[in-house]
Every structure is written in C-alpha cells, then in structure tokens.
C-alpha cells in the first residue's frame, strides 16, 4: 500500500500554533460582525455542478474541483461519448452559494437579511506563495437593502474588524477605495466606447497602477480601439490627484450618462463612513478601481494596507445575481475579508502573547507511579480546571528534558513531575 504523508498539493496542515492564531482572528471576526447584527449561516462545501458553471464565477469556473458521480450514474456517464462525469463541485466562492441559499430559504429570512459566512473554498489554481487551493473566506452580505445604508454598514463593520485585528500588531493605517461600476460605465460611454467593449476597457484600466496612464493608452490602442475614444478616455484619468471627490471627477457627465443620485449617494457613503472610522483609516474615491467580477452593478470597494502591496478586503453591490436563482429582484451588497492575507500579515509578528489564554499547568506522571498517585493527580487537575486553568496530565517520557522544553514552548509555565 502506498501512503502519502504530505497534504494534497496547494493545501495546508495547520500546526497548533497556527491554529491558535486562526481561531483567535476568527473569534474577533465573529464577535465584531455579530455586534453589527450579521447572522452567521452555512452552506455545504459542495454545490450542484450546474450552479457552479453558470457563468457567474468568471475565471474561477475554470478552477473547479469536480466531484464524480457515483455508482450507476457514473457508469451511464462513462458509456456516453463526452458524458458529464461530475454531478457536484467544490464551491470556489461564497457568493454563488449565498444566492442559492437565499433562493432556497428566503421565505424564512427577514426582509433585510444580513449574513456572515465563514467557510473554506477550493480553487485548482497554480499554487504559489500565499495562494492556496483550499482557503478560508469571510464574507458579509446584506440582501434586500437597496439604500446606501447597506454600503455604510458593510464598510464601517469591515474597517472595525480590520482595525481591531491589525491594531494588535500596531498596523492602523489603511485605505478604503470606493468607486461605482455605473461611474466606470459612464466614463467609458462618455469617451465613446461601445457597451460590448466596456469589460475589455475596464480590464486594461485596472492595470493603471502598474503600467501608468501611458501604458493604458498603449494597451487600448493595441487592442484596436479608436484613437479618439482612447484619447478622450485616458484624458479623464490624468491628473487624478489625491482626495479628488466623486463629484469633481464626474463634473463632465450629464444626466444622459449617469443618474446624479449615484454621485450624491457615493459622496454620502464616503462622508458618513469617514466620520465614523478609526484614526488611521482613510476613505478615497478611486475612479480606477475596477474589481474583477462582472456581476457587480453599483458601488465597489477595496481595502489596501498603506505599507503592504495588496488588498485585504473587497466587495460591492450586485443587484442582479440572486434574482437569477429565484427569479425575483433581490438587491445585494457584500464585503469579503481576505482572511488568509490577514493571517499571512500577522504571521510575520510574534503573536503568541496575543493568543495566549491564562495559566497552563502540566502534570507529568512517572511510569512507576501507583494507581493511587494517578488518581490523586487527576483529582488535582480537575480542581484546577474547575477554577479556569488549562491543565494537561500525561506520563513523564524517558526524554523528559525534550518533553519539558516542548511544553514550555507551548506556553506551559507550571510543569510538575510526579513520581509517587
């Protein structure tokens, strides 16, 4: 028999020390979001393959781990040329399952439903540093609220969570980038692009911070877009300037291009959030923010750490998606916390003092000790535990020094050897 000791490629075994950090962060996430009235829910790891390959997941659909049919169904599928061998797949995000969940359980849920989901997702991505094939996602979503109250709740809740976690290692400066897909579209329309080309244009715009405005121009021209439109478009994104307001950026746009309420609403979201977030948290209108998923319909947002080169949270409004499952109009807005990235950041610090909980005692019983001694030791342990202490009872190993060292590194400060 061939046993393989390593975990499946791209997936992780978590050691006790790593788990203490993960559990500590999860506890803070759950408690903070609960204080905002988000209700935790859970869906299965597996989804019907039909739901996963329905074109909602973009690029992620290529990365699905498919689960094979079984028994007679598999046999039938194998007989057919090009028969579908999978009936299920592992979820690649928590948004598709949430939409299905709402369609399935909506009648038991409140008219405005605030959901917290914490769960693993799977993507058969090329594994690389910090990118795994199984990883934990933390999403909050508000369903049934078409107003900006949803955006304000999501942004204040998420910045509060991030602040409470990251301030433990003295990281307090981060930036919330806000934009709106409708503004992105209005700008593309204003420049003269055709609607069917918007997504291609946005994908190129998304690279602005890497390739600069001249790079964007070049890439658009290379893709064969009209010079006039490209010129008009790139002109908009020149001289953006720190702290430009949405109103100022959009001043060229008439009502033909955009509903003024969109601009006013976005400014109000920013005003309201800015007055509430902790010191160190900045909110900026970022007209270059694109967000990959095509299902977004309104506001989009992303949080970056000022001294790190990546985002730690992202989300937006997606008013059309849930309706595809239940054939009703259901407004929705969500924010996803980059749990694994947060853990990666925290792992660069010594967090053992943060995750430690109270006094830890170890009783090490010598192998020659009598049954009476064993009994007495267990009673003493029980009493200490009753008083809130962590106590472990175990035999004293031959290599006692190594055993004690390991216990000490695991936070045991009170180690007692029991011989009789």
Q: What is the torsional sign of CA 88, 91, 92, 97?
A: positive
Q: Which is nearer to its own copies, 210 or 367 (CB)?
A: 367
d(CA 409, CA 281): 36
Q: Which is nearer to its own copies, 8 or 211 (CB)?
A: 8
Q: Which is nearer to its own copies, 230 or 269 (CB)?
A: 269
Residue 160 CB, shortest distance to its own copies, in Å, is 8
To the nearest 10 degrees (0 to 180), the angle between helices 260-274 and 181-191 is 140
d(CA 123, CA 89): 10
CB atoms within 10 A of CB 211: 13
d(CA 121, CA 401): 42
Residues 6+ apart with CB under 8 A from 274: 283
Residue 102 CB, shortest distance to its own copies, in Å, is 9
Residue 238 CB, shortest distance to its own copies, in Å, is 31
- The burial of 109, by beta-carbon neighbours within 10 Å (0-12 exposed, 13-18 middle, 19 or more buried), is given as middle
d(CA 250, CA 315): 22
SS3 307: coil
d(CA 171, CA 187): 35
- Helix residue spans in 275-370 (DSSP H): 321-326, 339-347, 352-355
Residue 316 CB, shortest distance to its own copies, in Å, is 19
Q: Which is nearer to its own copies, 51 or 311 (CB)?
A: 51
Question: Which candidate, 150, 185, 128, 146, places its Cα nearest to that of 36?
Answer: 150
Q: Which is nearer to its own copies, 275 or 309 (CB)?
A: 275
233, 204 in Cβ contact below 8 A? Answer: no
Residue 233 CB, shortest distance to its own copies, in Å, is 32
Residues 6+ apart with CB under 8 A from 338: 310, 311, 312, 313, 314
Residue 366 CB, shortest distance to its own copies, in Å, is 11
Q: Which is nearer to its own copies, 144 or 298 (CB)?
A: 144
Rg (CA), the chain: 27
Per DSSP, 196 falls in state: G
Residue 241 CB, shortest distance to its own copies, in Å, is 25
Q: Which is nearer to its own copies, 240 or 393 (CB)?
A: 393
Q: Which is nearer to its own copies, 70 or 129 (CB)?
A: 70
Q: Which is nearer to its own copies, 229 or 391 (CB)?
A: 391
Residue 391 CB, shortest distance to its own copies, in Å, is 6
Residue 78 CB, shortest distance to its own copies, in Å, is 9
């Amino acid at each position: 028999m061939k046993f393989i000791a390593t975990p499946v490629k791209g997936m992780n075994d978590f050691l006790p020390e790593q788990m203490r950090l993960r559990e500590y962060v999860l506890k803070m996430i759950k408690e903070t979001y609960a204080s905002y009235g988000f209700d935790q829910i859970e869906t299965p790891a597996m989804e019907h393959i039909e739901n996963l390959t329905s074109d909602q997941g973009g690029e992620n659909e290529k990365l699905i781990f498919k689960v094979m049919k079984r028994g007679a169904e598999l046999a039938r599928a194998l007989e057919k040329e090009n028969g579908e061998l999978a009936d299920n797949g592992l979820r690649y995000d928590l948004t598709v399952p949430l939409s299905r969940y709402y369609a399935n359980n909506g009648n038991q849920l409140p008219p405005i439903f605030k959901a917290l989901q914490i769960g693993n997702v799977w993507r058969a991505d090329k594994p690389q540093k910090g990118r795994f094939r199984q990883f934990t996602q933390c999403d909050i979503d508000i369903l049934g609220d078409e107003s900006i109250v949803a955006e304000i709740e999501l942004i204040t809740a998420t910045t509060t969570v991030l602040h409470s976690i990251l301030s433990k290692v003295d990281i307090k400066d981060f930036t919330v980038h806000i934009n709106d897909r409708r503004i992105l579209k209005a700008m593309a329309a204003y420049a003269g692009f055709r609607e069917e080309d918007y997504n291609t244009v946005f994908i190129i715009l998304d690279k602005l911070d890497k390739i600069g405005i001249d790079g964007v121009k070049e890439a658009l021209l290379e893709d064969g877009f009209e010079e006039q439109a490209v010129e008009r478009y790139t002109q908009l994104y020149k001289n953006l300037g720190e702290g430009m307001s949405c109103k100022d950026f959009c001043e060229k746009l008439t009502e033909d291009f955009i509903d003024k309420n969109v601009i006013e609403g976005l400014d109000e979201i920013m005003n309201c959030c800015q007055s509430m977030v902790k010191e160190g948290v900045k909110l900026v209108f970022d007209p270059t923010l694109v967000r990959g998923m095509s299902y977004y319909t309104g506001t989009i947002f992303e949080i970056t750490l000022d001294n790190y080169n990546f985002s730690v949270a992202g989300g937006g409004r997606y008013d059309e998606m849930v309706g595809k499952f239940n054939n009703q109009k259901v407004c929705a807005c969500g924010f996803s916390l980059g749990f694994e990235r947060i853990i990666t950041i925290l792992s660069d610090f010594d967090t053992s003092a943060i995750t430690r909980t109270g006094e830890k005692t170890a009783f090490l019983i010598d192998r020659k000790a009598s049954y009476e001694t064993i009994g007495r030791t267990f009673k003493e342990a029980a009493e200490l535990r009753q008083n809130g202490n962590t106590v472990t009872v175990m035999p004293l190993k031959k290599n006692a020094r190594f055993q004690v060292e390991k216990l000490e590194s695991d936070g045991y400060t009170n180690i007692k050897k029991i011989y009789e």
